[in-house]
Chain A
Amino acid sequence: GDQVEQSPSALSLHEGTDSALRCNFTTTMRSVQWFRQNSRGSLISLFYLASGTKENGRLKSAFDSKERRYSTLHIRDAQLEDSGTYFCAAEGAGYQNFYFGKGTSLTVIP
């Protein structure tokens, strides 16, 4: 079964609003990485976390340091250019494989 459950699958936000994406893991993960995929298919890395939180501008990500079973990506003051598909990828404790969630399609509306 899927090791990474990402939600929501789709999200519409008005400009200027805030929201959060979440990835739950069926087992303890070693690290997590968040990406945005652009229209050309390129995966742009947003954050890589082995624990704790990271912030970059209007984006902030957290990785549950205690049980390592979920991660979140917060978007503050959403802008039109934030539209795209967001993926989380989590690294299992065993073979260093990164497993992807199914993505969140984000649309920011004027």
Chain B
Amino acid sequence: GALVYQYPRRTICKSGTSMRMECQAVGFQATSVAWYRQSPQKTFELIALSTVNSAIKYEQNFTQEKFPISHPNLSFSSMTVLNAYLEDRGLYLCGARSGNTGQLYFGEGSKLTVL
């Protein structure tokens, strides 16, 4: 079956430091990967959509300088939260889209706590 592994599951970092998270698609080809942040209030924000061989499209309020994303092939994507501060805390989720079915598959998320 189609699975998405996301790691690390949780990170605690000091203000001003960075956190990198990775996403691995297994059992399907992820033609696009969407990175989301879920706030402590459970609201989802789309950070960016990455499609292999296309430019990464960032949503308003999110920039490549702050959230650089790599999507080198159809099974792997990574995102870094640079210079993390309190407002960056939340659960970061990658949603990998199957090129075959169009369905989104999610990893278990990476929870970021900033001290």
Interface of chain B, main secondary structure: strand
With both beta carbons as reference points, the residue of chain B lying nearest to A99 in the complex is identified as: B46
Interface residues on B, range: 20 to 34
Contact of B95 among A40, A41, A42, A98 (CB under 8 A): A98
Q: Indicate if the CB atoms of A31 and B106 lie closer than 8 Å.
A: no
Interface digits, A71-110 against B, CB 8 Å rule (1 contact, 0 not)? 0000000000000010101000001111110110000000
With both beta carbons as reference points, the residue of chain A lying nearest to B38 in the complex is identified as: A41
Q: Indicate if the CB atoms of A48 and B101 lie closer than 8 Å.
A: yes
Known A41-B109, A48-B101; judge A95-B42 contact (CB<8 A): no
Q: Indicate if the CB atoms of A96 and B32 lie closer than 8 Å.
A: yes
Q: Indicate if the CB atoms of A89 and B49 lie closer than 8 Å.
A: no
Residues of A within 8 A of B32 (CB): 96
Residues of B within 8 A of A31 (CB): 102
Known A31-B102, A43-B106, A45-B104; judge A97-B49 contact (CB<8 A): yes
Contact of B42 among A50, A85, A89 (CB under 8 A): A85
CA distance A41 to B92 in the complex (A): 10
Known A41-B91, A41-B108, A103-B42; judge A33-B49 contact (CB<8 A): no
Residues of A within 8 A of B49 (CB): 95-97
Given A43-B93, A100-B46, 11 more A-B residue pairs with CB atoms under 8 Å apart are A33-B103, A33-B104, A41-B93, A45-B106, A96-B49, A96-B51, A97-B34, A97-B49, A97-B59, A100-B44, A102-B42
